[in-house]
Structure 1
Amino acid sequence: MQLKAVLLSSSILSIAHAWSPTNSYAPATVDCADDLNIIRAADGLSDSESSWVAKRDAVTQAALKTFLTRATSNFGDKSILNSLFSESSNVPRVAIAASGGGYRATFGDAGMVAAMDDRTDGANDHGLGGLLQGTTYLAAISGGSWFTSTVVFNNWTSVQDIINQMGDNDGSIWDIEQSALSPGGTDTAFTNQRFENISGALNEKAAAGFPTSLADVWGLAFSYYFFPSLPEGGVGYTWSTIQETDVFQNAEMPYLIQLGKAQLPGAVGVDFSSPTIEVTPYDFGSWEPSIKSFAEIKYLGTEVSNGSPVTPGQCVEGFDNVNFLIGTCTNLIEYVEQANSAYYNAVIDQLATLFLGNSSSNSDRTLAIYSPNPFKGTTNYESGSDTTFVTEDKLLLVDGGIDGQVIPFIPVMKEERGVDVVFALDQTADADDLFPNGDSLVYTYERQFTEAGKFDAFPYVPDIESFVELGLNKKPVFFGCDASNLTDLSYVPPLMVYLPNVAHSFASNISTLQLSFTAEERLDLIRNGFESATMGNFTEDPDFLGCVGCAVMRRKQEKLGLEWPEECQQCFTNYCWDGSTKDDIKNTTNISSTVSNSSTTTTTTTTDSADYTTILSTMNSGELSTIHFETSTTITCHECEQSTASPTVTYTTITKECQECEGGFTEVVTTVSCEGDEATESDTHKYTTVSSWTTTTEVCTECEEMDAMASAGISSGAKVTTEVQVTSQAASSTKSSTKSSTMSSNDVSEISHVSSISIPAVLQVTTGIPSQASSSSSSSLYSVVINENTADRLSFQGILTLAAAVVSFVGLI
């Protein structure tokens, strides 16, 4: 049976009273208790959430025991499990924070979560299967909200189920071969009908007395791809529906939290002082000083005074429309407009005229409008706070990541939720190559020292430059490993397992506003997400599963004073950030782990007369890498497998001039043999570098010997990617273009590094889609690149193309 048929018969559609009373996009007035108050103070969890979490704890306890038993199966001493599961209060509590980043985030987050889901093919053998079943909270923001909304509001379906029915132009979930802004492609009749449906929905809401904006349009347009089996993309589907589903009532899924950001009327943006709004199965509101209240989500749209309906016994239902709330949590339209481009402004003007009519020039046209304001007249805010959010008739919301916090840490780091470990899925595109650079972590760390974040805590992280130079954005990293180092914060926050988007089998640095993908490309992104979460399905580190288990157990182990397994000690040496920064690396000769009492690495730098840096590093057999201090790349000798049996191995890494490669490189990094230093005096081109933990081979056009070696390495399954960089005359006289060995010569528009490694096949499909990486990258009419971590720093490419495309589709109507 196709998944869409299954969904049609699911419990979601059988709960008629949980849908909008009008069975449409329009809210309506219903009877409610005369003494109802829909507002509570943000002084703890709601009774509803607390009761639900207690029920979920009983489910996660069994799942985590199974997962941790598998993760620690190779440990010499497993007694810690007996202690953790001897009492329910000792069991760790897990959360996942799924980042934003457009469809890149939707599919990358999906792949990472699939790696944790025991319903995914291969997840128990080559992944973190079962961890999702042991997770209590699932938070998301922006493009990550597209992912979480899809699986949650399709009756907690799995990524594997979606993949199994994935196709193009067949109406399946995530069938986005055609953009939401041109859903029919060349079929203008289809596009016209889709936009007529959207216009009709907006008119119904407006006729019921509620304002609309382009945020409504955004949510309605995209929801067709998330709920294709529901009438008009779930046009009457309400958020509070989730409360009535069996899968939620039985606590068989994590507790969903999605984020928006409140913006002051007339303001041109948001910052840390702007309240973060949580959207959960029960609540809608903020912990922050200027609101500090939560509304019962089912009754959004009700005109209230300090939480009580203005007309006792009369409430509104249906305002909590799933499409509208998705549009709220992913709303970037205002910030496209802020680019102040004549082309973009013309496009947005035409969209507003088309869908909003007389409201097209309204100053709020790009914002999600919550009117009436559920917090009007409330008194829970802190004295001295800006009272605008509790005095205005309307509450205006934008994408929750606009202030730079594109990973939704705030809700899952709250002390009230008692989380022990947070898995941070980072699909942001803030580095120049559109991969993560740690921005979101730094911003959330900084926020805790502001007025808005004074009740929150977040583990220490390095500055952005150090984050990149240390290569922390290129592999999993644990932050906050030692609770004793965090006692000067408001409270000890959860340990964070950082999982960044890294190109393993696919060039996953896709522009945030690429809006169309083939089924093959979607699968490639999902599979690459799986690999990013599992160190290449454990091919890069067979012990990574055990290390994840250690991260899950750490806070409870510290609290209970349990003996720390030797294997966990080694894992923390390998994966925990030790507090080093770029300056420490340049200035110190002794780098030791903050967790380990025994230093395993000593690094010394010297400079010779040839003006190049030589790094001598003595490491244990599990750490076969050194860090090149001048370029902050990790250098690995893959020709030295025979040395791994030795307890210590010494490497020498030398930067030399490549005289024979005119027109190629001016500098080449050479890795000599582990057996001796004779090769250092040779001019032969035998060198391998790993740039930020991604194995690459730099090839000069005249270095035919290296070409042969690279080809042999790839054919034999070595962890090597053939990479050619070409120097040409351009800005600053240099422009590099990088081609992965898995891609054709004309399909890379962003700099990408893809490791060609032997990875077990997972996430197979039933529609004949190839299991290997795509040989081509898609190109979207929208070639816009938005740096979602800095709202006022937008970079746009191909403006003329974009404007022409959007104006063209608008002209179809």
Structure 2
Amino acid sequence: MYLKTLFYSTALLAVAQTANAWSPTNSYAPATVDCAEDLNIIRAADGLSEAESNWVAKRDAVTQDALKKFLTRATSNFSDKSILDSLFAESSNVPRVAIAASGGGYRATFGDAGMVAAMDDRTDGANEHGLGGLLQGTTYLAAISGGSWFTSTVVFNNWTSVQDIINQMGDGDGSIWDIEQSALTPGGSDTAFTNQRFENISSAIGEKSSAGFPTSLADVWGLAFSYYFFPSLPEGGVGYTWSTIQETDVFTNAEMPYLIQLGKAQLPGTVAVDFNSPTIEVTPYDFGSWESSIKSFADIKYLGTEVSNGSPVTPGKCVEGYDNVNFMIGTCTNLIEYVEQANSAYYNAIIDQLATLFLGNSSTSADRTLAIYSPNPFKDTTNYDSGADTTFVTDDTLRLVDGGIDGQVIPFIPVMKKEREVDVVFALDQTADTPDLFPNGDSVQYTYERQFTEAGKYDAFPYVPGIDSFVELGLNKKPVFFGCDASNLTDLAYVPPLMVYLPNVAHSFASNISTLQLSFTAEERLSLIRNGFESATRGNFTEDPDFLGCVGCAVMRRKQEKLGLDWPEECQQCFTNYCWDGSITAEDKNTTSLSSVVGNGTTTTTTTDAPDYTTLLTTIDSGDMSTIHFETSTTITCHECEENDVQPTATFTTTTEDCDSNTLATTTVECEECEENANNQHKYTTISSMTTTTEYCEECEEARETSVVSTVNTAGAAEYSNSPSNNEFTTQSGEGSSNASKISANPSEQSVSTYAQVSSVTIPKLAQASSGSGSQSGSSAYSVLVNENMANKMTTGSIVGAVLLVGSLLSLL
């Protein structure tokens, strides 16, 4: 193990150095360098950049061979395989594939990793039991929040595979994702190690600040976690730059997908983002937004350069090193502000302590919780739409937060863009929006709704059911295809890609892990990765031996429709089994048939309930959309009444309080008044505090009685026992094992919930780890403190404050 790790570390370091990966200062600080005097770092968002277009053309040649191999295997049992001859007769007929990896803390990191591993022909067993080769045929890989931790890891470790990572995965050995000790206490009981780690972070922050660039707690956030993604690089890759990817062989040879990670721009002086807040793409070449208030992209290599309409204020002088990988990761996972805005004196005191420790004179800055991009790369640009808010192009500073803050925790927007010509998007959903911490389709619904707003008027997304229908129909428990028939989507801005929805489902492991869990043993990490593999493959095809062929049909569908090719009968059966057929529950019955009219900044959406009348669903403008969405809460949503009333005549106010009766949020909502209103039948949810659930007062009373922060009871999660007699779950090794999983035959002793269905065939080597006992139930920030064995003292040299803050933040990831 030591020799292998040493070789791996040396190889990575060599890649970083030969590709000029480091900041010019060889540190976290950017520096001024010479550049062309006529350089302009801005382009209008009127299409793909020339660099991306050229790269995609090169990637198409690679994916053509990979997809042909994958689809040949997927259709091997089809009665008629002639469709492949037509698809691959010309390169323009070859489907284009994208993957969208959701957020969700470490649950998303490892769940996304397992799903992608199932698509990677470098994974042991992926070609026999999975979707091996599909990743090699993928053009775009988008990620958000916790999913960005996964994609950043594999991409900036020279496009390593999940299999390579698990082959050298251990506890306490400094391997990638070695989080037996969390980022809060990296030294465990060795407080000297922990304090040294945080002194290194403080030093890095100071170097950037001394170079004249503002810093914030987002810098701290990115630096702290990157140690676990790039353990072989000095101080977690403290000087590693994002634009390095342009110079690596795996990228220049188009051997990997095109990476896109997302942030959200926030207006100065505000504490919220919504659909109208620009989504910022971070790609190998570009940093910018398609949306109306910016509509520009900057050359990512020269971020930090003071510019006016893209031209350096000092001709011939530019900044390099601002595009630090750690800073970009901190940006795309930055939720710190939303802890502060919870208005808890307790947490605000901790944030004050951290700000004082790391930020010095900037500790009281209004922007201390935001990722600060100053100078603003879009200063004085003129590409924005007429009538749009110009703040983002006139202010000296651009402020960013986590890309999923507006509720869109699956990064659909960039891969659904018409300009990228994607045919199918694989949506990996690791969110935790149900009471038992599994997905409920929330993120899908949010992106669907966005296309009917001003911000989304240039975009399209397939029709999906409402949240109630999504859950009641069980669409969150299995793979589902949305947008199967292009002919049903012609009233949208354009025909969007078909979407293959792959939710996190417990198969061999209770994968509804609380996002508060900050440390995992190697065994637990492997179990989560394995479960992700199984979620993407329907339990290694044990639940449906034909699922591989059905995925192949989804990949081919858009090109089959465009070219008018004969549709294999096996594909027809697959679409019967997996396509959402438009059915909904009674709760959503008014949304069966939708049409939309866009104009003058508003979108009116109507739905036909029956031939004899039409109900107005909603008229949306920038003031009507949701503001804050955490995975633990949603903004209030009113469902349409069954009666044909269109005037909002009833209102109600929801106040959210913590257990000490401190008001956290007050929201007034207008609803349509009808008979059901008298019975209080409007469905709504409230914004929850991080420490208590304020929906029902009984929970606060219970919290007071126990004098501790109430914990999340993850209903339906497996509660593992340390007693072998109560938990006989084991996994056998070896490709030839005929019984890969064993579980107690006595239902009363079985410790895996009804959500967990264990596969009965050989599990690929990727997943061969015993599940044992683990921390599957959710926990509070308080219990995280206890589990991390922190002292009672809070001094400048301690990191107790950091424990509290990061624990709080991860509850939102």
TM-score range, shorter chain: 0.7 to 0.9
Deviations 1:171-230 (A, max 9, x none): 000001111111111101100110010000000000000000000000000000000000
Structure 1 position 330, deviation (Å) = 0.6
> Does structure 1 retain, via aligned residues, the 8 Å contact 2:148–2:329?
yes
Partner of 1:494: 497
Given candidates 409, 428, 432, the residue that maps to 1:429 is: 432
Deviations 1:669-718 (A, max 9, x none): xxxxxxxxxxxxxxxxxxxxxxxxx999xxxxxxxxxx9xxxxxxx9999
Partner of 1:690: none
CA separation of 1:716/1:161 partners in 2, compared to 1, >3 Å: closer, same or farther? closer
Aligned runs of 1:297-312 on 2, under 5 Å?
A: 297-312=300-315
> Does structure 2 retain, via aligned residues, the 8 Å contact 1:740–1:752?
no
CA separation of 1:186/1:44 partners in 2, compared to 1, >3 Å: closer, same or farther? same
Alpha-carbon RMSD across the aligned residues, in angstroms, is: 2.6
> Does structure 2 retain, via aligned residues, the 8 Å contact 1:344–1:803?
no
The answer on 1:465 being equivalent to 2:463 is: no
The answer on 1:388 being equivalent to 2:391 is: yes
The answer on 1:755 being equivalent to 2:770 is: no
Q: Rg bigger for which structure?
A: 1
CA separation of 1:272/1:335 partners in 2, compared to 1, >3 Å: closer, same or farther? same
Partner of 2:527: 524
- What secondary structure, in the 3-state scheme, does the structure 2 residue paired with 1:29 have? strand
Given candidates 774, 778, 783, the residue that maps to 2:780 is: 783
Mapped to 1, the partners of 2:336 and 2:259 lie a distance apart of 24
CA separation of 1:806/1:367 partners in 2, compared to 1, >3 Å: closer, same or farther? farther
Mapped to 1, the partners of 2:362 and 2:471 lie a distance apart of 45
CA separation of 1:82/1:719 partners in 2, compared to 1, >3 Å: closer, same or farther? farther
> Does structure 1 retain, via aligned residues, the 8 Å contact 2:510–2:717?
no
Partner of 1:812: 798
Mapped to 2, the partners of 1:181 and 1:309 lie a distance apart of 40
The answer on 1:64 being equivalent to 2:61 is: no
Partner of 1:321: 324
The answer on 1:19 being equivalent to 2:16 is: no
Partner of 2:571: 568
Partner of 1:794: none
Counting matched residue pairs gives 653
Aligned runs of 1:145-164 on 2, under 5 Å?
A: 145-164=148-167
Mapped to 2, the partners of 1:571 and 1:212 lie a distance apart of 52
Structure 1 position 76, deviation (Å) = 0.2
Given candidates 750, 756, 760, the residue that maps to 1:741 is: 750
Deviations 1:709-753 (A, max 9, x none): xxxxxx9999999897xxxxxxxxxxxxxx98245xxxxxxx872
- What secondary structure, in the 3-state scheme, does the structure 2 residue paired with 1:199 have? helix
Letter in 2 for 1:95: A
Deviations 1:333-375 (A, max 9, x none): 1112222222211221211111111211111111000000000
Aligned runs of 1:631-650 on 2, under 5 Å?
A: none
Q: Structure 1 vs Structure 2: percent identity of aligned residues?
A: 81
CA separation of 1:196/1:752 partners in 2, compared to 1, >3 Å: closer, same or farther? farther
Structure 1 position 798, deviation (Å) = 5.5
The answer on 1:134 being equivalent to 2:105 is: no
The answer on 1:6 being equivalent to 2:3 is: no
> Does structure 2 retain, via aligned residues, the 8 Å contact 1:509–1:752?
no
Mapped to 2, the partners of 1:45 and 1:479 lie a distance apart of 26
Aligned runs of 1:256-275 on 2, under 5 Å?
A: 256-275=259-278
CA separation of 1:236/1:584 partners in 2, compared to 1, >3 Å: closer, same or farther? closer
> Does structure 2 retain, via aligned residues, the 8 Å contact 1:740–1:754?
no
Q: Which moved more, 1:505-514 or 1:258-267?
A: 505-514
Aligned runs of 1:218-229 on 2, under 5 Å?
A: 218-229=221-232
Partner of 2:708: none
Aligned runs of 1:601-616 on 2, under 5 Å?
A: none
Partner of 1:102: 105
> Does structure 1 retain, via aligned residues, the 8 Å contact 2:264–2:401?
yes
Structure 1 position 584, deviation (Å) = 8.9
Mapped to 2, the partners of 1:295 and 1:722 lie a distance apart of 60
CA separation of 1:778/1:431 partners in 2, compared to 1, >3 Å: closer, same or farther? closer
- What secondary structure, in the 3-state scheme, does the structure 2 residue paired with 1:13 have? helix
Mapped to 1, the partners of 2:791 and 2:439 lie a distance apart of 29
Letter in 1 for 2:495: V
> Does structure 2 retain, via aligned residues, the 8 Å contact 1:120–1:129?
yes
Partner of 2:299: 296
CA separation of 1:229/1:568 partners in 2, compared to 1, >3 Å: closer, same or farther? same
The answer on 1:34 being equivalent to 2:37 is: yes
Deviations 1:564-594 (A, max 9, x none): 000000000000000111129999xxxxxxx
Aligned runs of 1:608-687 on 2, under 5 Å?
A: none
Aligned runs of 1:42-61 on 2, under 5 Å?
A: 42-61=45-64
Mapped to 2, the partners of 1:804 and 1:380 lie a distance apart of 53
Deviations 1:593-630 (A, max 9, x none): xxxxxxxxxxxxxxxxxxxxxxxxxxxxxxxxxxxxxx
Letter in 2 for 1:537: N
Deviations 1:744-768 (A, max 9, x none): xxxxxxx872113314222448xxx
Mapped to 1, the partners of 2:791 and 2:537 lie a distance apart of 39
Mapped to 2, the partners of 1:272 and 1:740 lie a distance apart of 48
CA separation of 1:390/1:293 partners in 2, compared to 1, >3 Å: closer, same or farther? same
Deviations 1:102-135 (A, max 9, x none): 0000000000000000000000000000000000
TM norm structure 2: 0.77
> Does structure 2 retain, via aligned residues, the 8 Å contact 1:514–1:783?
no
> Does structure 1 retain, via aligned residues, the 8 Å contact 2:514–2:776?
no
CA separation of 1:354/1:314 partners in 2, compared to 1, >3 Å: closer, same or farther? same
Letter in 2 for 1:783: S
Mapped to 2, the partners of 1:719 and 1:494 lie a distance apart of 40
Partner of 1:632: none
The answer on 1:114 being equivalent to 2:123 is: no
CA separation of 1:392/1:804 partners in 2, compared to 1, >3 Å: closer, same or farther? farther
Letter in 1 for 2:798: L
Mapped to 1, the partners of 2:170 and 2:743 lie a distance apart of 32
- What secondary structure, in the 3-state scheme, does the structure 1 residue paired with 2:136 have? helix
> Does structure 1 retain, via aligned residues, the 8 Å contact 2:97–2:423?
yes
> Does structure 2 retain, via aligned residues, the 8 Å contact 1:521–1:778?
no
> Does structure 1 retain, via aligned residues, the 8 Å contact 2:370–2:401?
yes
Partner of 1:773: 771
> Does structure 1 retain, via aligned residues, the 8 Å contact 2:423–2:555?
yes
Q: Which runs of 5+ in 1 are unaligned?
A: 588-693, 697-706, 708-714, 725-738, 744-750, 785-796
> Does structure 2 retain, via aligned residues, the 8 Å contact 1:4–1:228?
no
- What secondary structure, in the 3-state scheme, does the structure 2 residue paired with 1:285 have? strand
Mapped to 1, the partners of 2:792 and 2:368 lie a distance apart of 18
Mapped to 2, the partners of 1:809 and 1:282 lie a distance apart of 43
Mapped to 2, the partners of 1:88 and 1:264 lie a distance apart of 44
The answer on 1:88 being equivalent to 2:74 is: no
Letter in 1 for 2:146: G
Mapped to 1, the partners of 2:470 and 2:175 lie a distance apart of 39
Deviations 1:424-463 (A, max 9, x none): 0000001111100000000000000111100000000000
- What secondary structure, in the 3-state scheme, does the structure 1 residue paired with 2:20 have? helix
Partner of 1:736: none
- What secondary structure, in the 3-state scheme, does the structure 2 residue paired with 1:323 have? helix
> Does structure 2 retain, via aligned residues, the 8 Å contact 1:55–1:251?
yes
Mapped to 2, the partners of 1:327 and 1:479 lie a distance apart of 32
Q: Which runs of 5+ in 2 are unaligned?
A: 591-715, 719-725, 727-737, 800-813
- What secondary structure, in the 3-state scheme, does the structure 2 residue paired with 1:460 have? coil
> Does structure 2 retain, via aligned residues, the 8 Å contact 1:7–1:155?
no
Structure 1 position 155, deviation (Å) = 0.2
Mapped to 2, the partners of 1:288 and 1:272 lie a distance apart of 10
